[in-house]
A and B are shown apart, each in its own frame.
Chain A
Amino acid sequence: MAEAAGDGQRDFAFYFRDAGITALMTLPIAFPMFGFHLIVGGRGGTSAGYGTVVEPRLIWVLVAVLVVFVGRFAISFLRNDPAVTAATERSAIDMRRYMSETIAPWIGTGLLSVAILWPFLPFVDRWLLDLGILVLTYIMLGWGLNIVVGLAGLLDLGYVAFYAVGAYSYALIALNFDLSFWQCLPLAGVIAGLFGILLGFPVLRLRGDYLAIVTLGFGEIIRIILLNWYEFTKGPDGISGIPRPSFFGLPFTNQEGATTSFHKFFGIEYVSTHRIVFMYYLILALALLTNAFTERIRKLPVGRAWEALREDEIACRALGINPRNTKLTAFAVGAMFAGFAGSFFATRQGFISPESFTFIESAIILAIVVLGGMGSQLGIVLAAVFLIGMTELFRELEQFRMLAFGAGMVAIMVWRPRGLLTRREPSVSLNDTRSGI
């Protein structure tokens, strides 16, 4: 396509023809879907459908074809501009090095400070506080999945299942055995981890893409069971009245009760946002715990084995690493963090139902990890802020945002398959390789 760049002259005829061909190819794509609209129950209906009628709107086809034509023309125009190409390439390389070496630690520190101060920033209202909690939940999930996908290289499409297991474990244990949040949290994590082992044990020797489909199937099985096992999970009605966490035994309540409430203990006035702020710090702490765990375990033998397995399984086997057990630990640890996040989700919402744990959630978490550049902790933060922030800002455009989400996933893969910020270098390497042996 790029034969024009050589003599510095732009081959407009070629761009024109190229854009024309692309537009022509759009025609069969757009013709039925854009050109005709199926209306259910519209104006009595014809005899053919039970009220489903088809209405032509061929002008849409024309618009679609024109948009594609102009878009394609613009893309080839920009892509084949020698100055632009060189500049973007140079800046991309520079940016990358600059990002990963110079400013990444600063961004990390900066983001952490903002995160810690967030509830006390003057412009932060209730909505922004809730948004902060949501973003942090996804960051934690992203970091948890990163252990599985980014470090161990296992594509898990059913991560939300462990999230669901954590949420339901917390809800059911808390309601049936009257245990507090702090007692349930480790239990929920352990149960989710056990589910990870249970699933992982038979399937982890499968090749990457098979594993992806099986985990997806597992996610769906969990959801279907939650939906249909009414006696245990209350099915589609969901579980409500899940107990809220207390500040180490001091409940956030304005009601007089046997126990001293939070505001009385500290002698401050009751404000309903205290609980939300506490929730915020709770998820922040959980997320930071996940991060600290990942950063530490990377340097341990098991973490190194994960990264080695991701790079070359056969070589690992030759070196005496047991691939199945190593993968299993990654799977179980990832599942455990999903379980923690799930029990936080349950206690924050106070209500859970299978609707919160659909495949699309798994896809969103995976997209965060992939967009962040599998393996990069900071990249995941940026991706989560970007994706969740965007989706919350454009909540009204529900359908568009999912369309953009899917298209964005494709675009990122095509444009930068390794994600925005990659960290593919091994966490540990032999020192002085240059001066050494």
Chain B
Amino acid sequence: MEYFTQQLINGLTLGSIYGLIAIGYTMVYGIIGMINFAHGEIFMVGAFHALIFYLLAVSLGFSFVPLALVLVLLLAMVFTGAYGWAVERLAYRPLRGSFRLAPLISAIGMSIALQNYVQLMQGARTKTLQPIVEGGFAFWHIGESTVSLSFMQILIVVTTVLLMTVFTIVITKTALGRAQRACEQDLVMASLLGIDVDKTISLTFILGAMLAAVAGMMFLLNYGVIDFYIGFVAGIKAFTAAVLGGIGSLPGAMLGGLLIGLIETFWSAYFTIEYKDVAAFVILILVLIFRPSGLLGKPEIEKV
């Protein structure tokens, strides 16, 4: 039971990270109906930004850890947001209105390019960071085993919940959120009603990239190792999460992320760790076959 609880905690932590990335997929899909294949790489770039800025902050003498972390988080979000904007501007905007698979192929190219760009800039070796937030609660001592909840895990879950709240407010209460929802329903109609569609789409990409940067930083802090390849697998899993939750639905993305995180953790804990990636892909295939609209999504209506 304590093993189970421990895995539950680990799974929720991992799931929060997936959920944050999944929101980027789901938002972009909702608004322009394409799979932003390069989003996983944006997450990877975010993790690199976080590492660069953290090391920079340390070398500049920010010894107070919470302040340094907040600063790093904000910087990583801003600079990764720029990447989200640039990817949309360069690779997707010229293809709006082109045939359906064109943006997807362009996205694959972008993903390969970003991966190799980071490898070229920062080297192929795995980058490490020692644990910054250490310690935690150990509770539930039964026999020899204990269940522990580290401060890092609390930090991840709290940050995720906080961001989700802010995000929900942005989507439901602000003008930007209204414009986004309008574009989601009908791009042409929204533009006729005076909504700057290009700007709204750009902002969507920037917001998605910012959340991916947060996920990247959390990944870095939690696991302490990053390389230029982390974006591919994490991206696929987050996409699976978005599909599982119902693509286009924000709460769905978060729910899907948590579920994928839990499934992956339990699969590794109770079955085989080698096949944990297979688990995610199998779920993706099963969901698409049996419930293509996902858990919280609306079924798609085919129009002629």
Q: Which residues of A contact B (CB under 8 A)?
A: 25, 28-29, 31-34, 36-40, 46-54, 153, 155, 157, 202-203, 206-210, 212-214, 216-218, 220-221, 224-225, 227-228, 314, 359-360, 363, 366-367, 370, 399-400, 402-403, 405-410, 413-414, 417-418
Interface of A, helix, strand, loop or mixed by DSSP: helix
CB-based contact A224/B53 at 8 Å:
no
- Give CA–CA (A42, B113) in the complex, Å: 27
Q: Which residues of chain B are within 8 angstroms of A212 by Cβ–Cβ distance?
A: 35, 101, 104
Q: Which residues of B contact A (CB under 8 A)?
A: 34-35, 45, 48-49, 51-56, 58-59, 78-79, 82-83, 85-86, 90-91, 94-95, 98-106, 108-130, 132, 232, 236, 239-240, 243, 272, 274-275, 277-278, 281-282, 284-285, 288-289, 292, 300, 302, 304
CB-based contact A208/B100 at 8 Å:
yes
CB-based contact A52/B112 at 8 Å:
no
CB-based contact B52/A54 at 8 Å:
yes
Q: Which residues of chain A are within 8 angstroms of B98 by Cβ–Cβ distance?
A: 413, 417
CB-based contact B105/A52 at 8 Å:
no
CB-based contact B130/A224 at 8 Å:
no
- Give CA–CA (A428, B91) in the complex, Å: 35
CB-based contact A409/B106 at 8 Å:
yes
Name B289's closest neighbour in chain A (CB-CB).
Answer: A202
- Give CA–CA (A39, B150) in the complex, Å: 29
The one of B55, B78, B113 that contacts A38, using a Cβ cutoff of 8 Å: B55
Could you list 20 further interchain pairs (A-B, Cβ under 8 angstroms) beyond the known A37-B121, A40-B125, A224-B274? A32-B79, A33-B48, A33-B121, A38-B55, A38-B127, A47-B58, A49-B130, A52-B127, A52-B128, A54-B52, A155-B105, A207-B300, A210-B292, A214-B284, A217-B284, A224-B277, A399-B119, A406-B113, A409-B105, A418-B99
- Give CA–CA (A413, B98) in the complex, Å: 9
Q: Which residues of chain B are within 8 angstroms of A53 by Cβ–Cβ distance?
A: 55
Q: Which residues of chain A are within 8 angstroms of B292 by Cβ–Cβ distance?
A: 206, 210
A382 to chain B, nearest CB (A): 18
CB-based contact A34/B126 at 8 Å:
no
CB-based contact A54/B104 at 8 Å:
no
Known A28-B78, A38-B52, A224-B275: A363·B102 in contact at CB below 8 Å: no
- Give CA–CA (A113, B90) in the complex, Å: 41
CB-based contact B109/A399 at 8 Å:
no
Name B29's closest neighbour in chain A (CB-CB).
Answer: A209
